[in-house]
Amino acid sequence: MPLSSKLDQKLRAAEESSDDEEYYEVTDRSSSPSIIETGDGGELLDSEEEDEGGEEGSEDEDMSADAEEEEAKAQMSKVSFGALAKAQDALSADRKRKRKRGEEPSKPQEDKLQALRERLQEIKAAKLAQGGVSQPKPKAKARPTKGEEEKKKDEYDDSGSDSDTAPAARSSKHAPAVQTSKKAVSRKRQVVDAKKPKFRDPRFDVGAPPDENTVQHRYAFLNEYKQSEINDLREAIKKTKNEADKEKLKKKLISMESQMKAQRNKDQQQNVIREHKKMERELVKQGKQPFYLKKSEQKKIALIERFQNMKSKDRDRAIERRRKKATAKERKNMPDERHDARVYLFVPDPYFSKSREAPDGWDCGVRGMVLRQQNDGITGYIAVMSDLRSPSLPLLHPHRPHRPDLPPIPPRLRPLILRSNSRSLPHPRLLLPRPPLHPPRHLLSASTRLHFTTRTVFAHPLPYKTTHDLIKGVSLFGYKRAGIVKATDPTLRPDSTEFFNIAKDHLHAITPSRSYPAEITEKETWILLQTVAHDAHKVGMLVLRVLATQLGIPPTSFTRKNEFAVRSGDHVRLTHKPARVSDSTTAAIGLPSHTDFGSVILLFNWLGGLQIQSYDPSTPEQWDFVRPVDGTAIINLGDAMVTFTNGVLKSAKHHVVDAPGEQGRVDRYSVVYFVRPHDEAVMEAVEGFEHLGGKGRVAGKFEAKVGGGAVGGGVDEAKGGAVR
Ligand SMILES: O=C(O)CCC(=O)C(=O)O
Ligand SMILES: [Fe+2]
């Protein structure tokens, strides 16, 4: 079929339809490749040339009707509407462009356009004259793709109008050229942005999280289900034979149990808050200021409650876990300064050694140690007295020569040392061992809290306290009342100090516990006691390692004789000495002079009263006060160290008297921890010390020679070995 007749059909279809859509269809087809790409329409110029040719043809009046029709068709096919429309588009676009730039269309273009218009009209007229050929409506001739304006323009063109309105801008070339008149134009205008209500579908939309407690309360029945599920799981585990399945079930059980546990803990904390609020409400009604618990306090109270409701084994395990966790955390967060903390080992000034008679074979003695708290840690200061004249001076080991160029003691520390040993160590120098030191952080605070919480235990009447008596020669643990006269004390005065010895083995369930007063076994106190035992032992081990290193022997030489987990006589001692009752020095003594049996003894006291015997040869009988320093523990070496080192290290002789001045007016309490060799440790000199002086000596012998006082023993009931 010739292209022209195709075109005719299309035009006719367009003519028959008044529908916009049909109109668009024609529009689309006119721009479809079937017309443009065939080349029939050709280039604009070609079309024009052809148009001209067509014009000539139409003027031939002698043609037969058929021939004329054929001719007209040929002309039509030559000058296609596509080409014409394209030409018009180009012109109008050109015009538009120019108009946009504010230019008027140029004369030749106007002429061309005019020529085209005339030509179109001529063709139309010829067609009308012929009568038989259907005519496309002018509307269809137009190329509506270029918009309504152009369509209108074409219509006006057909009617010879020159009206030329500016074409409306379209959002894109694909946007409809005309706006349908069928669509109602809204008269409403959005002036203010009104917020549309947003509707929520509770099935899918997650709103603000509901209050956790409310949810817990409402869904409390789930806990019952969970519990029954746990029971089912337990049953299933019992019945299941397949190991892999069993493992899976076990894992699930553990996870469910820990979920339940976490929930219980949360509930407990909530209870604490609730109870506290209730109490506070009451108090506020009475006119008190409200007091709110901090989160940490809430946790603490809940924790204490939890511990109280635990069985002792579970509690121990829980405590141990918490301690490990806390220690690991502490260690991780420890500033470098603390990583570098040092234990200073002091050796005396030569002045001292020159002026004092050294006992046979005994070269030096540890006089006492002071631990000082620094940046939450504890730095140990070990005061050592030594006789430099001795040919075998292990403290100045050949590998660790005493170097006078070592850094001086920091001035901050000097008063501390000089205060407690002002006579024996006037100008101490120091050797600097660098053991890894991670001192337990809670030791001092735990002992301080213990000091306050256990006052009540001594407030009981004597008959009650004596129901927990220690049994001399049988058990070292329990109560020792005041008023005991020690044969070892030269003054033979009765002592005024009562104390409770609480075994490390009882605290840490290494052996079954004996009975203690309720205030001691009360959970919070028991936990504090456990902390003191554990941490003080750790400090003791540190001191022993340092000493071994300084003595040039393997660092574990002493520690392996004092293992924490092995049954031993280690204990925490809580002491109480009433305030001064008389100024008479003969009435009573706090504690008579003695040395301690153990290896290392840590003393936490808050009032003066402890005295150590002077080593100053000019005042051999003089007692020097060891002034308590806040945040400080005083460390002594016990008789066991004398034995282990064959007398190279000494135990210091000490006693307790009324605190001087005002301090003497108040009751004195102290907390002591005795690190003692475990039950299986052989009480003999360690390697490297066997040949020093024959058999191992104990402090008593040392005392007898140096101080000229009574032979050891003192208040240590178990000296010589007690049955536990
Ligand atoms: O309480 C003190 O200061 C010392 C106690 C003491 O030396 C002891 O219990 O062995
Ligand atoms: Fe003591």
Residue 22 · residue 28 · CB < 8 Å:
no
Instruction: Name the residue of 591, 639, 667, 673 to mutate for ligand 1: max ligand atoms within 8 A of Cβ.
Output: 591
- Nearest-5° Cα angle at 409, 396 to 361: 25
Where b means 16+ CB within 10 Å and e means fewer, 40-66 reads bbbebeebbebbeebbebbeeeeeeee
Q: Which residues pair with 344 in a beta bridge?
A: 381
Q: pLDDT means per 10 residues in the chain (724 residues)?
A: 44 37 29 31 31 36 50 57 62 53 60 84 75 45 44 39 52 79 76 81 75 82 89 92 91 92 84 86 84 79 77 78 70 44 33 29 42 47 40 27 34 35 33 38 73 83 90 83 79 87 94 91 89 86 75 85 92 92 70 87 82 59 67 75 75 81 82 91 82 45 28 33 34
Whole-number Å distance, alpha carbon 558 to ligand 1 midpoint, is 23
Instruction: Answer whether 83 contacts ligand 1 (Cβ < 6 A).
Output: no
682 residue type, one letter:
V
Instruction: Answer whether 574 contacts ligand 1 (Cβ < 6 A).
Output: no
Q: Where is 388: in which H helix or E strand?
A: none
Residue 348 · residue 356 · CB < 8 Å:
no
Whole-number Å distance, alpha carbon 654 to ligand 1 midpoint, is 8
Whole-number Å distance, alpha carbon 676 to ligand 2 midpoint, is 13
Instruction: Answer whether 715 contacts ligand 1 (Cβ < 6 A).
Output: yes
Distance of alpha carbon 54 from alpha carbon 142, whole angstroms: 20
Distance of alpha carbon 243 from alpha carbon 227, whole angstroms: 24
Token pair of 153 as six digits? 């323009």
Whole-number Å distance, alpha carbon 621 to ligand 1 midpoint, is 19
Closest CA to 664 of 584, 578, 576: 578
CA atoms within 13 A on the CB side of 191: 2
Instruction: Name the residue of 447, 501, 575, 719 to mutate for ligand 1: max ligand atoms within 8 A of Cβ.
Output: 575
Give the ligand 1 atom nearest the CA of 715.
Answer: 10
Closest CA to 451 of 404, 499, 415: 499
Q: Look at ligand 1, atom 9, and give the residue with the nearest C-alpha.
A: 672
Amino acid 70: pLDDT: 60
| Ligand nearest to the Cα of 572, by number | 1
User: Cα 42 to chain center, whole Å?
Assistant: 79
pLDDT tens for each residue of 561-578: 999 999 899 999 999 999
Amino acid 290: pLDDT: 77
Token pair of 239 as six digits? 């019945």
Amino acid 251: pLDDT: 92
Instruction: Name the residue of 480, 501, 603 to mutate for ligand 1: max ligand atoms within 8 A of Cβ.
Output: 603
pLDDT tens for each residue of 58-95: 333 444 445 555 655 555 555 555 566 666 666 655 55
Q: Where is 41: in which H helix or E strand?
A: none
Instruction: Answer whether 719 contacts ligand 1 (Cβ < 6 A).
Output: no
Residue 429 · residue 349 · CB < 8 Å:
yes
pLDDT tens for each residue of 442-490: 676 777 788 777 788 999 999 999 999 888 767 889 999 998 887 766 7
Instruction: Answer whether 501 contacts ligand 1 (Cβ < 6 A).
Output: no
**Torsion sign (Cα): 167, 168, 174, 179:** negative
Strands 600-605 and 571-577: unpaired
Whole-number Å distance, alpha carbon 603 to ligand 1 midpoint, is 7
Instruction: Answer whether 373 contacts ligand 1 (Cβ < 6 A).
Output: no
Whole-number Å distance, alpha carbon 638 to ligand 1 midpoint, is 12
Strands 344-347 and 377-386: parallel
Instruction: Answer whether 571 contacts ligand 1 (Cβ < 6 A).
Output: no
Instruction: Answer whether 603 contacts ligand 1 (Cβ < 6 A).
Output: yes
Distance of alpha carbon 370 from alpha carbon 629, whole angstroms: 9
Amino acid 524: pLDDT: 86
Distance of alpha carbon 378 from alpha carbon 440, whole angstroms: 7
Give the ligand 1 atom nearest the CA of 636.
Answer: 7
Whole-number Å distance, alpha carbon 596 to ligand 1 midpoint, is 9
Distance of alpha carbon 481 from alpha carbon 477, whole angstroms: 13
Other beta carbons within 10 Å of 205: 9
Give the ligand 1 atom nearest the CA of 573.
Answer: 9
Instruction: Answer whether 476 contacts ligand 1 (Cβ < 6 A).
Output: no
Whole-number Å distance, alpha carbon 619 to ligand 1 midpoint, is 23
Strands 377-386 and 364-374: antiparallel
Distance of alpha carbon 674 from alpha carbon 575, whole angstroms: 13
Distance of alpha carbon 208 from alpha carbon 271, whole angstroms: 25
Instruction: Answer whether 577 contacts ligand 1 (Cβ < 6 A).
Output: no
ipTM for the complex? 0.99
Whole-number Å distance, alpha carbon 672 to ligand 1 midpoint, is 7
Q: Where is 107: in which H helix or E strand?
A: helix 107-130
Per the document, the length of the chain is 724
Whole-number Å distance, alpha carbon 683 to ligand 2 midpoint, is 20
The SS3 call for residue 256 is: helix
Instruction: Name the residue of 450, 572, 613, 654 to mutate for ligand 1: max ligand atoms within 8 A of Cβ.
Output: 654
Q: Look at ligand 1, atom 3, and give the residue with the nearest C-alpha.
A: 610
- pTM (predicted TM-score): 0.47
Residue 18 · residue 137 · CB < 8 Å:
no
Instruction: Answer whether 639 contacts ligand 1 (Cβ < 6 A).
Output: no
User: Cα 67 to chain center, whole Å?
Assistant: 100
Instruction: Answer whether 486 contacts ligand 1 (Cβ < 6 A).
Output: no
Amino acid 539: pLDDT: 79
Give the ligand 1 atom nearest the CA of 577.
Answer: 1
Distance of alpha carbon 281 from alpha carbon 283, whole angstroms: 5
Instruction: Name the residue of 670, 671, 673 to mutate for ligand 1: max ligand atoms within 8 A of Cβ.
Output: 670
Inter-residue long-range contacts of 185-189, CB under 8 Å, 24+ positions, other chains counted: none
Q: Look at ligand 1, atom 1, and give the residue with the nearest C-alpha.
A: 670
Q: Look at ligand 1, atom 10, and give the residue with the nearest C-alpha.
A: 596
312 residue type, one letter:
S
DSSP assignment of 620-650: TT-EEE----TTEEEEEE-HHHHHHTTTSS-
Instruction: Answer whether 72 contacts ligand 1 (Cβ < 6 A).
Output: no
The SS3 call for residue 110 is: helix
Residue 562 · residue 541 · CB < 8 Å:
yes
Closest CA to 653 of 490, 499, 538: 490
| Ligand nearest to the Cα of 498, by number | 1
Distance of alpha carbon 716 from alpha carbon 232, whole angstroms: 57
